[in-house]
Chains A and B, each alone.
Chain A
Amino acid sequence: MAVRNLKCRECGTEYPLEALYVCERCFGPLEVDYDHSRLADGGIAELRRRIQAGPQNIWRYADFLPLQGGQPGPSGRLASRVGLPAGCTPLIRADRLAAELGLREVWVKNDAANPTHSFKDRVVSVAAARARELGYQVIACASTGNLANSVAAHGAALGLESYVFIPADLEEQKVLATGVYGTRLVAVKGNYDDVNRLCTELSAEREWAFVNVNLRPYYAEGSKTLAFEIVEQLGWELPDRCVVPIASGSLFTKIAKGFAEWREVGLVDSPDGRLPRMNGAQAAGCSPVASAYAAGHDVCRPVKPDTIAKSLAIGNPADGPYALEEARRSEGGIDSVDDDEVRAGISLLARTTGIFTETAGGVTTAVLAKLARSGSIDPEERVVLVITGEGLKTLDAVRGSFEVHAIEPSVADFEAVAADGLSEAASSAAHVPSALRSSRPGLAQLSTAAAAR
């Protein structure tokens, strides 16, 4: 396998592939180190074919993921072996969103289409599989909600016990969609950063696999699969820019790492030598990374979160310094939007694409809109908007944002009360929708070869 060892991102000290996450010398984060030098020995076309013939989930990218035994199952069908099949979510061209923003080419990567409706299924799939390789019987996490859903569900699928720690004020939908899987759910009186501190302490006391603490080096690698899928779905091409939400900064930096790894191996060309510009999105009520970016700092000052975007409410972001580095290196940026803009972002995405996202997606969409309106994006760019979670998990954000017309069951009452304001199209029986055509015909979609077997 291509996995070599763990390595400190700060000082380069190497460690064995165990449940370790911190360098004992300098306290820097450990990352998985790979040797990809032989991967393309059979040629790039062969490597691409191998990926395309893989399962319709993240394990098609097993060569780039940190399991020692390779992909955990052949097809993603056996839950007790592979858990829930994460990934291979739709990349949808959003021409009406682009038109509204004055852009030419916007794609939405809809990661709400994962088994527990957020991108967290990618990282948990990897961490849970690695936890099994290391012999753990219990998986656990500190969560702002989406991770809670995913850890509880993966525990159930794999037959592992799980402990899920959440802030006590979490949205009810996320609490219900966690407890149903039979996990041990612990609501901590405090914010996410308090939960995280508690779990960091507990990870030293319990023989558990805390997916985002002692298994964090493996867990974080799962986010690279978002970059891999985007490249594959664009026909082995890079986008010009990605807009991605930032909580801890791990997703943001790992998507960039995914693009860089594939360019290094040769799976994707970059004719102008550029990797995608990375734009980070935060809510103004919890924007330690955006604030540090604006101030020109290279570390983040922690904040006490106060925002409706609870899945992004990390006041003390572990990968903040690396997110800042990546935004500057790629000539992207990091911006924040207030809660009203977040609600407007949810609505904008919903009415132009039919995708209902949670508050985090509202943050990301609102930042894209802000960048477009300020002229920061060249209208000719190909932009990917990364939507990380499902709107049904944060219903309060849209409550009261539209009118429901209550009528008696009669045509007369309908005409009197609700028919006003219908568009000409809706009033006419002869309406024919105009087809929106891609300007890049023939884009390869994910191979269906594996599914067809």
Chain B
Amino acid sequence: MPVTVKIPTQLRAAAAGDAEAQLDGDTVQEVLEGLFERYDELRERISDGDGSLRRFVNVYVGGEDIRFLEGLQTPVADGAEVTILPAVAGG
């Protein structure tokens, strides 16, 4: 099921300049795996050693922070939008 992943400017150099990518997957984790397969360099930028997200990376599904949902296991529906953003803004 195609899902749109929005890539932040800070990561676009590691993603062939792309601002978004269409990927398949039933959960955030599956979608991110697909993203890492397409753009190998993104894996170490976003994930830490044990497969979870780095602490300054936020991921949203339909505008909601996945930490309020089911984390990396959050289901993504067909046509959903997954947004990756830096966590260090605001305040």
> Given A22-B86, A321-B55, are A247 and B9 neighbors across the interface (CB < 8 Å)?
no
Which listed segment binds B: A168-176, A298-306, A357-365? A298-306
Which listed segment binds B: A70-78, A198-206, A393-401? A198-206
Given contacts A21-B88, A316-B65, 10 further A-B contacts (CB under 8 A): A22-B86, A23-B10, A142-B90, A193-B65, A196-B89, A201-B85, A212-B91, A216-B88, A302-B65, A316-B90
Please name 13 pairs of A and B residues whose Cβ atoms are closer than 8 Å in the assembled complex, sorted by A.
A10-B56, A24-B14, A24-B45, A27-B46, A29-B88, A197-B63, A197-B85, A200-B90, A212-B89, A213-B89, A251-B91, A318-B89, A321-B55
Q: How far is the CB of A131 from chain B (nearest CB, A)?
A: 16
Bound CA–CA A29/B87 (angstroms): 9
Decide: A216 and B8 in contact? CB cutoff 8 A.
no
Bound CA–CA A204/B89 (angstroms): 12
Interface bracket on A: 35 or more
Decide: A28 and B88 in contact? CB cutoff 8 A.
yes
Decide: B11 and A24 in contact? CB cutoff 8 A.
yes
Q: How far is the CB of A226 from chain B (nearest CB, A)?
A: 15
> Given A302-B65, A302-B68, A319-B91, are A25 and B85 neighbors across the interface (CB < 8 Å)?
no
Q: How far is the CB of B80 from chain A (nearest CB, A)?
A: 16
The secondary structure that dominates the B interface is mixed
The 8 closest A-B pairs by CB, nearest first: A248-B91, A196-B90, A29-B88, A22-B86, A27-B56, A204-B9, A213-B89, A200-B89
Decide: A197 and B91 in contact? CB cutoff 8 A.
no
> Given A25-B45, A302-B65, are A248 and B90 neighbors across the interface (CB < 8 Å)?
yes
Q: Is A155 an interface residue (CB 8 A)?
A: no
Q: Which residue of B lies closest to A317 (CB)?
A: B91
Chain B residues with Cβ below 8 Å from A193 are 65, 90
- Point out the residue from A28, A204, A210 that lies within 8 Å of B56, measured CB to CB: A28
Interface bracket on B: 20 to 34
Decide: A302 and B10 in contact? CB cutoff 8 A.
no
Q: How far is the CB of B58 from chain A (nearest CB, A)?
A: 7
Bound CA–CA A26/B87 (angstroms): 11
Chain A residues with Cβ below 8 Å from B90 are 142, 192-193, 196, 199-200, 212-213, 248, 314, 316, 318
Decide: A247 and B13 in contact? CB cutoff 8 A.
no
Decide: B13 and A24 in contact? CB cutoff 8 A.
yes
Q: How far is the CB of A345 from chain B (nearest CB, A)?
A: 21
Q: Which residue of B lies closest to A199 (CB)?
A: B89
Q: How far is the CB of B3 from chain A (nearest CB, A)?
A: 17
- Point out the residue from B11, B65, B89 that lies within 8 Å of A21, measured CB to CB: B89
Decide: B87 and A27 in contact? CB cutoff 8 A.
yes
Q: Is B1 an interface residue (CB 8 A)?
A: no
Q: Is A332 an interface residue (CB 8 A)?
A: no
Counting chain B CB atoms within 10 Å of each CB, the highest count among A21, A23, A247, A316 belongs to A316
Chain A residues with Cβ below 8 Å from B10 are 22-24, 27
Chain A residues with Cβ below 8 Å from B45 are 24-27
Bound CA–CA A318/B91 (angstroms): 7
Q: How far is the CB of A315 from chain B (nearest CB, A)?
A: 9
Q: Which residue of A lies closest to B19 (CB)?
A: A204
Chain B residues with Cβ below 8 Å from A29 are 56, 88
Q: Is A250 an interface residue (CB 8 A)?
A: yes
Q: Is A194 an interface residue (CB 8 A)?
A: yes
Bound CA–CA A27/B6 (angstroms): 16
Q: Which residue of A lies closest to B7 (CB)?
A: A204
Q: Is A249 an interface residue (CB 8 A)?
A: yes
